[in-house]
Structure 1
Amino acid sequence: MKTARLSAVTRTMQILAMTMLIGSAVINYLDRAALSIANIEVRQEMGLNATQMGVLLSAFLLSYAFAQLPAGVSVDRIGPRILLGVGLGIWSLAQMAAGFVTSFTQFYWARIVLGLGESPQFPTAARVVGNWFHISRRGVPMAAATSVGPSLGTALAPPILTALMLAFGWRAMFITMGVVGLVGALVWFLFYRDPEHHAPPQDVAYIRSGDTPSTSKVTLPQWGRLFRCRTTWAMLIGNFGSGYLFWVYYAWLPGFLEMQHHVSVAKTGIYASIPPLCGVVGALAGGWVSDRLAAAGVTPINSRKIPIIVGLAGTAALTVCAAYAQSAPLTIALVSIAVLFSNCASATIWGLVTVAAPPNYVASLGSIQNCGGYLGGACSPVVTGMVVDMTGSFEGALFIGAGVAALGGLIYLFGVVRPISGTELEYDADGLKPEIA
């Protein structure tokens, strides 16, 4: 299809929406990273061991994972403007509360609420990209919203949060980031709008052309029928593998460098920012390759699967190499390339959502897939902490992560073969007549 010339109004909102999504993702990942950056200091002040720290890290991940399910269908039913704005406000208040905790239990609940608040971020991003971009042009914007923003947040976290922590203490670091998030929530509420209320009709018609046909408004029974589809389960389980290995690095890289390679806290803040910057390159490459494959005539599903499979295989192989590295510089080099491959996969994992479901189910399917990723992520910090406590080394934890990621790639390869149709979602067990718009 010939590319339509979009109006200035639509192009402006595309840029504004992507800027705000990247900004909120940066805040999102700065907030997630705060506990990882403060790992050693929090453990010393509160008397926690590595396993207890793993539980605190996993508390966020578990609540985030299970909150994905209602968050996705809520975004599809209520809309991204309200859900992301409210979520940003809730998680920012939870981040502030973490600066005032006096016990393990209080910290645990602050992390739970942080996960609940952050849950609409990426279902919203999937829906916004699906709302504002044509199906053949979603790879790069989806990579920017779901991987570039997080990678930038992860890269900025070590230097920014370490500087805040060293200057004012870890409690002030949490409180400061909470205030920043509240400002971000206000900006999103003031400026974001959906295309149906903002873009010219001809632009909306072009954006919707090529999509899997929309169904009637999402209902809970129809949402439940997503779980009858093989594609849904393959995406959920496959993303478990991606999320597991990602969170080995995300939650434990600063501690890994300090404990395994005896890197100082100040140097860790510099070293730990390098892999996420490589992740930005990987995310954009994954989005660009998926769009090029689609333009070359590869099916929408396969144009997304290929970067996913290559990315997961590459990050698994490099993780095994990193386990044997004997110096901090070599370890950082190997981890950086591993994260590049990982983000190539994760960017197109979210891109897969926009071609695997009807447009008004994008957030719902994306949240189910993301739930799988964060179930993997929730297991990862605890298992890693236990392995470190038992063996005194990170080698075994890295081997486990590599194996789980490789298995995830195989599940995407053989499990995701076609998109979910509106008919599958609108027919019930008694043969309810579909009402496809």
Structure 2
Amino acid sequence: MSTNSNTIRRTPPGILLIRNIRGKDWSLKSYRYIILLLTFIAYATYHASRKPSSIVKSVLYPESMKSSDPPWPVGNVFIEEEFSGFGTNGVNNKGWYPFNGTDGTSKLGEIDVAFLACYSSGMYVAGHLGDTLDLRLFLTIGMIGSGIFVGLFGMGYYWNIHEFWFYLFMQMVAGLFQATGWPSVVAVIGNWFGKRKRGLIMGIWNAHTSVGNISGSLLAAAVLDYGWGWSFIVPGALIASAGVLVYLFLPAYPEDIGFSGANASSSEEEDRIQKASEQKGSAVNVEKSSDLKAGSGSRKGIGIFEACSIPGVIPFALCLFFSKLVAYTFLYWLPFYLSQTEIGGEYMSVKSAGNLSTLFDVGGIVGGVLAGYISDKLIARATTAATFMFAAIPSMILYRLYGNISRATNILLMMIAGLFVNGPYALITTAVSADLGTHSSLRGDSRALATVTAIIDGTGSVGAALGPLITGFLSSKGWDTVFMMLNAGALIASLLLSHLVIAEFRERTSKPLPPSHGQQNHEATGSQPLLGVSNIQNNLCSLCGKVPETLILLCWCPPPSGSLKLNVDGAIRSDASCGGIGGLLRNAEGCSLASFSKKFGPGLLISAELLAIKYGIEMFLSSQWFGSYSLIVESDRKNAIDLLLNPSASPSFLFCLVREISDSFCGKDVSIRHISRNGNIVADLLAKAGIG
């Protein structure tokens, strides 16, 4: 790795220390595990630091308290309890002015709304700053700042402060610092992980939200006996400590430690890098990439309006608005609904209702993982999200109608509702945001991950603030009215993605390849450059019963002198279980110079065609002929060519790939044009051979 000062400056100091101690570097795979762990811890502490306000409400405003036991899973879980005049700290609790008056609940509500308002508005600015500044330092400052102001809220107890503005101000500033978290951690994950299995990985990783909520509740309750101030100070110290950990060990970009970006290199290059790093230890620094940029500092951020112009950002942001409106209404109001609803012929205590409501989040964890897995398999984020939101409507209706039959029925229907409500919410805030943010920025000089994530989640956070607020008014008219609002929100969320769903469906149903096709071709494994010209001609004879040379002369024209021609094609099975790509590079005499035939996982035909073009161009650019010859690329899918000539017209799920391809040959002597199927039969055969 180059000793460029900018690169060295952005390598985390903890990693530099470990390199010096070990005498060699970690592999790419090891770094990815570290990234997952550090970002999981980071955002879990963000959520843990948000929980104290809900835990101490019963101490600040004792009329709202029903139980003196610690929360689940420490104390009894689903029990009936009467009101106790003693606080959770074991002494007679008269509350804390200014929250113990008749308007105490109103003041507590104002603090919550102020926090969410600053959080959602700060998200837009934080996202742009995250793409402009060093992500590691930006995330560190946000975590330490959050810890300081959460802790200052608790210090009001020891400083004996009874001014409402003090607590309001602390929460507002804490909300602004908290806005740094989500765009930053999603951006880091997107930088390190390509699109393969991104939905599943992020679905599992997104469990940090529930882990943080539960751990924050337990931690705040555990120290409540020593005074409610400690319930803020300890979580504040925890997130600040995690911020120091992030500063020491978190490389925000692979380039910051000498690896090429996950979204900028092929899987073969990543495998080569990883093997080199495992075999050569510290010598990997000079092997990792010959054209690395000087760390993340060499990039520039894009503007908010430019990020909004990325196809799919606005529909997904608006969808998340209504999705979070539904999800956060359950989050804030489900315990109250359970305590006010007769279940199995009896009412439960406030504590029991709160404990029972956590099972909604358990269903949400399963939903997030399931949505990510399905979207990876189908390569259809919008279809998966819209389907889950549609399914949430009958699940919420069933929960409202039959949830009061018994506690077991209530738990089952609640977890099913949580699965469908939180599934798309988790998918959009993680994998979708990363997909839309990893466009040409990771090959050019701009960055969009944090900005796109902030736009999407910031818009969703506005819905998260409005949902509980609207529910407060509608609940006075009856819970049926509230559930009508929730069903309407889920319906609107799904309809907002209808255009993207149609686009995904059209691509999936176009130009299918029967499963039997390709079985007679020579099998091609992933990285072999394959099939010589003689094998291609033999297969043409078996398929067409014609003299291959005559067929090629009739259907394929050689390039002019000084140019090479690359014919590519993609194919998929009719069941979309797998696909193949193939291509052949020939000179003006018609002689084959190089070929490829590769298999890839389930996907759409347009994606296969674009991958074939991408791989073929990369093969040429890394070959001995680049610089001496111009290149003509021919494909028989006109819509793929049209997208490359006009990337802004690409659907959201293809935008990143299209921009990456167009950027790869921008400024080079490479042209792309359409050719008939008959003229592309060799590439078609290679693509089918890739399926095996």
| TM-score, with structure 2 as normaliser | 0.53
Residue 421 (structure 1) shift: 5.1
CA distance in structure 2 between the partners assigned to 1:436 and 1:264 by the alignment: 69
Aligned: 1:192 with 2:254:
no
Q: State how many pairs are aligned.
A: 405
Aligned: 1:98 with 2:153:
yes
User: Structure 1 vs Structure 2: percent identity of aligned residues?
Assistant: 20
Match of 2:323 in 1: 242
Residue 226 (structure 1) shift: 2.9
Q: Is the 8 A contact 2:48 2:212 kept in 1?
A: yes
Which residue, 431, 440, 447 being the options, matches 1:351?
431
Q: Give 3-state SS (helix, strand or coil) of 1:87's partner.
A: helix
Residue 397 (structure 1) shift: 2.9
Match of 1:73 in 2: 128
Aligned: 1:404 with 2:483:
no
- After TM superposition, the structure 1 = structure 2 runs for residues 39-78 of structure 1, keeping only pairs within 5 Å, are 39-44=57-62, 45=95, 46=99, 47=101, 48=103, 50-78=105-133
Moved more, 94-103 or 174-183: 94-103
CA distance in structure 1 between the partners assigned to 2:212 and 2:186 by the alignment: 19
- After TM superposition, the structure 1 = structure 2 runs for residues 329-344 of structure 1, keeping only pairs within 5 Å, are 330-344=409-423
CA distance in structure 2 between the partners assigned to 1:408 and 1:436 by the alignment: 41
CA distance in structure 1 between the partners assigned to 2:146 and 2:238 by the alignment: 11
Q: Give 3-state SS (helix, strand or coil) of 1:320's partner.
A: helix
CA distance in structure 1 between the partners assigned to 2:254 and 2:269 by the alignment: 14
Q: Give 3-state SS (helix, strand or coil) of 1:273's partner.
A: helix
Q: Is the 8 A contact 1:353 1:365 kept in 2?
A: yes
Match of 1:225 in 2: 306
Residue 126 (structure 1) shift: 2.1
Structure 1: which amino acid aligns with 2:356?
A: Y
Question: Comparing both structures, which one devotes a greater share of its residues to helix?
Answer: 1
Q: Which has the higher contact order (CA 8 A, sep 6+)?
A: 1
Question: Residue by residue, what CA displacement relative to the aligned partner does 1:301-324 show, whole Å, maximum 9, x if unpaired?
Answer: xx2112211222233333333334
Q: Is the 8 A contact 1:248 1:398 kept in 2?
A: no
Residue 280 (structure 1) shift: 1.8
Structure 1: which amino acid aligns with 2:47?
A: Y
Q: Is the 8 A contact 2:359 2:415 kept in 1?
A: yes
Residue 229 (structure 1) shift: 5.1
Question: Residue by residue, what CA displacement relative to the aligned partner does 1:220-271 show, whole Å, maximum 9, x if unpaired?
Answer: 5x43223345633212211101111111122233343345465335434532
Residue 208 (structure 1) shift: 11
Aligned: 1:172 with 2:230:
yes
Residue 63 (structure 1) shift: 0.9
Residue 403 (structure 1) shift: 1.7
Q: Is the 8 A contact 1:236 1:368 kept in 2?
A: yes
Which residue, 206, 226, 231 being the options, matches 2:266?
206
Moved more, 197-206 or 402-411: 197-206
Q: Is the 8 A contact 1:94 1:110 kept in 2?
A: yes
Q: Is the 8 A contact 1:62 1:378 kept in 2?
A: yes
Structure 2: which amino acid aligns with 1:343?
A: N
Residue 18 (structure 1) shift: 0.8
Match of 2:453 in 1: 366
Question: Residue by residue, what CA displacement relative to the aligned partner does 1:385-406 show, whole Å, maximum 9, x if unpaired?
Answer: 2334x34x54433332232122
Question: Comparing both structures, which one devotes a greater share of its residues to strand?
Answer: 2
Q: Give 3-state SS (helix, strand or coil) of 2:243's partner.
A: helix
Q: Which runs of 5+ in 1 are unaligned?
A: 1-6, 211-215, 295-302, 426-434
- After TM superposition, the structure 1 = structure 2 runs for residues 8-157 of structure 1, keeping only pairs within 5 Å, are 8-44=26-62, 45=95, 46=99, 47=101, 48=103, 50-99=105-154, 100=156, 102-145=162-205, 147-157=206-216
Moved more, 397-406 or 280-289: 397-406
Q: Is the 8 A contact 1:57 1:381 kept in 2?
A: no
Q: Is the 8 A contact 1:422 1:436 kept in 2?
A: no
Moved more, 369-378 or 79-88: 79-88
Match of 1:280 in 2: 365
Q: Is the 8 A contact 2:323 2:421 kept in 1?
A: yes
Residue 90 (structure 1) shift: 1.4
Match of 1:385 in 2: 472
CA distance in structure 1 between the partners assigned to 2:105 and 2:462 by the alignment: 20
The Cα RMSD (Å) is 3.3
| TM-score, with structure 1 as normaliser | 0.81
User: Post-superposition, which runs of at least 4 consecutive aligned residues in structure 1 deviate over 6 A?
Assistant: 207-210, 422-425
Q: Which runs of 5+ in 2 are unaligned?
A: 1-24, 63-94, 271-297, 504-650, 660-665, 669-692
Q: Is the 8 A contact 2:433 2:449 kept in 1?
A: yes
Match of 2:556 in 1: none
Match of 2:398 in 1: 321
Q: Give 3-state SS (helix, strand or coil) of 1:135's partner.
A: coil
Q: Give 3-state SS (helix, strand or coil) of 1:136's partner.
A: coil
